[in-house]
Each structure stands twice: as structure tokens, then as C-alpha cells.
Amino acid sequence: MSDLESFRAETAEWLEANCPPEMREPVTDESDMCWGGKNATYKPGQKEWMDIMAAKGWTVPDWPKEYGGGGLSREETKILLQEMGRLKIRSPLASFGIWMLGPALLHFGTEEQKLHFLPPIARGEVRWCQGYSEPGSGSDLASLQTSAEDKGDHYLINGQKIWTSYADKADWIFCLTRTDKSSKHKGISFMLFDMTSKGVETKPIVLISGQSAFCETFFTDVEVPKTYGEGISSVVGEVNRGWDVAKYLLGHERSMISSDGSAGATSLGAKFADTYGRDEKGRLDDPMLRSQMAEMDIDVLAFRAMAERFGDTFKANLCHPAQPNMMKYAGTEINKRRHELIMSAGGSEVLEWESDATNGGLTARSWLRTKANSIEGGTSEVMLNVIAKQILQLPNA
């Protein structure tokens, strides 16, 4: 047996032996995931599973061991994720620290910053949120205005962020601030600070789908120390060069969101055929719906191959640097279409907004929520602009 084959066998055996049974039930929605943090409330099995995995470094299997990771190779990480998928085992920890801040620190952080910030993320002790968008700065993010005034030993933060997911639940924020008003792109800094600081206020946003994770976040004379200890600056990368960090991270965010399209990869037709009834040949008894679902199967299975290829080429440094934009575009658009089809298949029953039968309108709320997929993290239109310019090399107007 090759090393990788024995790794797969050992991993599968270990997962089966150690994963609590609750953590092998499918995740219903984001509120059903384990997010960690200082104020976390855990459902049965969540804390236990997070701690077991964190002890092995497997909440972040491909991070180096010294930062709380598992130190696994690309191939080993892929095998671990495949085995977890095969055994229907939940991810132990959902975290913007893992998905976004971590990659930024690993790439731009000092050794001291990495040692200070990364292990608590890996252990699920500190929950982070992202402060990017502002009311006047959506697609044109670099026009952001939240100011960080240099006051000698600290920065004074004033301004407003919007679409700050889980700002009301997060312990810390990684936040884009304006440290220089004279340059649009080269006047932004990537700053880390405590959400319990005086002058930070959050307010949840109600969406067309109902309650949401999104918040408005207000900063009024928030004092952010310049350092949290020797070599631990509150700014990641250089001051005024936060846009480089943000751009790097957007790539990560886009590749993460794009996995949505492949997540629900089970065939809708196979799922709905029993509800609808079948004709004498065993076909779903609504020819138009059947054909739409079959088209969706084609697109979902093809996109799943694309997601695999993207992952493989991304890790091997073979894909175009702007390819995450294409994945984000395609993944979110297919997810929106998929939910349109689910609503159509559900008919009038899934319109019930509050009843127990629909689990509080879950299908309808999920459908509405997908409409944000192609807006958040860069709109589809911006993705298409980037593909056109950076990949196809089409000229500026």
C-alpha cells in the first residue's frame, strides 16, 4: 500500500472511531454549524468534535503545525476531505478566521502575528468577522471611507461598515480602514481589532429571506492599539497597502463561495420523482419539470467537475490567477437557478412562510437567500468584468 493509501485507510478508521454521531447528521443551515468563539453556544457533539479535531490540527489540516494546523500535504488534505465527505462527517469548525484571515496572515503576516493570531483560530477560541463593505462602497470597495487616524500609539477609527456577517457574534474583526485620503488604492490598511472595544456597535439586518447573519457595524472614536506585543502589529502587511491583502483575500472568498454550486450536487429529479409520481416508464410525471431537472443535473455535474479541476489546478499553481472570479460567477449563478427549480417543484406548499410543515419556510427563505450569492463577495457583473479584462485581455473602454 502506498503512503497515501495507508493514510486514507488510517484516516477513515480514525474518523469513524472519533466522530460523535451528531456530527454525522447533515447540516441544516448556517446556524446549525459550529462557529466557535468566546460567546459560542454549542449543540450536542459540536464542542467535542471541534476539540478532537483541533487537537490533531485538523480544523485547519493544511496549515503548518506551529500555527495550530495539521501540517498535511495537499494530497493528504484532499484525502481527509474526501473521507469526511464519504463518511458524511461535518466540518468541525466554520470560521472566517480559517477561510479568510488565516490565508491573509499566512501570506502577509509576520512570524509573531502568525503565532499570536492563528492558533486561537485553529482551536475555535476566537471568532472573527470581516469589515469590508460600506454603505457607499459596494462593488467599488476601494472607495471606502472608514477612517483610521494615526494618534501616535494608536489609531482612532470612525465610520460604518455594512454586510458584516456575524458582527454581533464575533470577538474580533479584520477591517479595511482608510489611513491615507490622498490615494484611493494605496491609502487602505488591513487592521485587526477587538469587537468589544469602546465605540463599536452592531445592528442586525433583516433580509427579504428574514433574519440574517448580516449586520451594520458602527465605529465611533474606537481606539485600536498599534501593536498587541513585540512584532504583533494591528496592521497586516504594510500600512496603506491593505488593498493588496484585500485583493488576495477576495480570491479566497470567491473560491469559497463558488463551492456552493457543487455542494447541493444531488439530483433534484431523483429527489422529486417520488413526490411527483412516475409515468409507466418510471419517468417523473411532469415532462417539463423533468427536462428542467435533467438540464440542471448536466450543469451541476459539469460544474462539480469544474470545481474539482479548479481545486486541483489552483493548488498546483496551474490556473489563471483570475480563475476564482469565474468560479464565483458560475457557482453562484448555478446555485440561484437550482433554487428557482426547487421552488418550482415545491409549488404552493413551499410558500408557507412560518408553518412547521415547511420548517419555518426554509425552502423559500433559502431560495431568497441565494439571490445574494451573486452580489456578495463581488457581483456577477464585476466577476465578468474581471474575466473579460484579466483572462480574455479585452481592452478598457
The rounded distance, in Å, linking the Cα atoms of 107 and 254 is 17
Q: Determine which residue in the list 47, 56, 226, 283 makes contact with other proteins, applying CB under 8 A.
A: 283
**What residues are annotated to the active site?**
253
Of 3, 115, 93, give the one whose Cα is nearest residue 40.
93
Q: Closest distance between other proteins and the C-beta of residue 4, in Å?
A: 12
Considering the rule CB under 8 A, would residue 305 count as an interface residue with other proteins?
yes
Q: Closest distance between other proteins and the C-beta of residue 392, in Å?
A: 5
Nearer to other proteins, 237 or 261 (CB): 261
Work out the number of other CB atoms within 10 angstroms of the CB of residue 225.
Answer: 15
The rounded distance, in Å, linking the Cα atoms of 333 and 260 is 10
Of 234, 127, 252, give the one whose Cα is nearest residue 190.
234
Considering the rule CB under 8 A, would residue 294 count as an interface residue with other proteins?
yes
What binding mask, one character per residue, do residues 315-354 give for other proteins by CB under 8 A, x or -?
A: -x-x----x--x--xx------------------------
The rounded distance, in Å, linking the Cα atoms of 222 and 194 is 10
Q: Determine which residue in the list 93, 306, 341, 342 makes contact with other proteins, applying CB under 8 A.
A: 306
Of 245, 269, 7, 286, give the one whose Cα is nearest residue 103.
245
Q: Closest distance between other proteins and the C-beta of residue 308, in Å?
A: 5
Considering the rule CB under 8 A, would residue 295 count as an interface residue with other proteins?
yes
Considering the rule CB under 8 A, would residue 191 count as an interface residue with other proteins?
no
Q: With contacts defined by CB under 8 A, name the span among 40-48, 173-181, 232-240, 387-395 that binds other proteins.
A: 387-395
Considering the rule CB under 8 A, would residue 48 count as an interface residue with other proteins?
no
Q: Closest distance between other proteins and the C-beta of residue 373, in Å?
A: 15
Considering the rule CB under 8 A, would residue 7 count as an interface residue with other proteins?
no
Considering the rule CB under 8 A, would residue 79 count as an interface residue with other proteins?
no
Considering the rule CB under 8 A, would residue 4 count as an interface residue with other proteins?
no
Nearer to other proteins, 188 or 383 (CB): 383
Nearer to other proteins, 28 or 291 (CB): 291
Q: What cell was used for 198?
A: 469602546
Q: Closest distance between other proteins and the C-beta of residue 331, in Å?
A: 10
Interacting residues with other proteins between 248 and 267 (CB under 8 A): 267
Q: With contacts defined by CB under 8 A, name the span among 89-97, 208-216, 342-350, 384-392 that binds other proteins.
A: 384-392
Q: Closest distance between other proteins and the C-beta of residue 375, in Å?
A: 16
Considering the rule CB under 8 A, would residue 293 count as an interface residue with other proteins?
yes
Q: Determine which residue in the list 290, 336, 338, 365 makes contact with other proteins, applying CB under 8 A.
A: 290
Q: With contacts defined by CB under 8 A, name the span among 83-91, 98-106, 130-138, 282-290 that binds other proteins.
A: 282-290
Q: Closest distance between other proteins and the C-beta of residue 382, in Å?
A: 11
Q: Which three-class secondary structure string do you get for the chain?
A: CCHHHHHHHHHHHHHHHHCCHHHHCCCCCHHHCCCCCCCCCCCCCHHHHHHHHHHHCCCCCCCCHHHCCCCCCHHHHHHHHHHHHHCCCCCCCCCHHHHHHHHHHHHHCCHHHHHHHHHHHHCCCCCEEEECCECCECCCHHHCCCEEEECCCEEEEEEEEECCCCCCCCCEEEEEEECCCCCCHHHEEEEEEECCCCCEEEEEEEECCEEEEEEEEEEEEEEEECECCCCCECEECCCCEHHHHHHHHHHHHHHHHCCHHHHCCCCHHHHHHHHHCECCCCCECCHHHHHHHHHHHHHHHHHHHHHHHHHHHHHCCCCCCCHHHHHHHHHHHHHHHHHHHHHHHHHHHHHCCCCHHHCCCHHHHHHHHHCCCCCCCCCHHHHHHHHHHHHCCCCCC
Q: Closest distance between other proteins and the C-beta of residue 143, in Å?
A: 19
Contacts with other proteins, residue ranges (CB under 8 A): 267, 269-270, 272-273, 278, 282-284, 290-291, 293-295, 297-299, 301-303, 305-306, 308-310, 312-313, 316, 318, 323, 326, 329-330, 381, 383-385, 387-389, 391-397
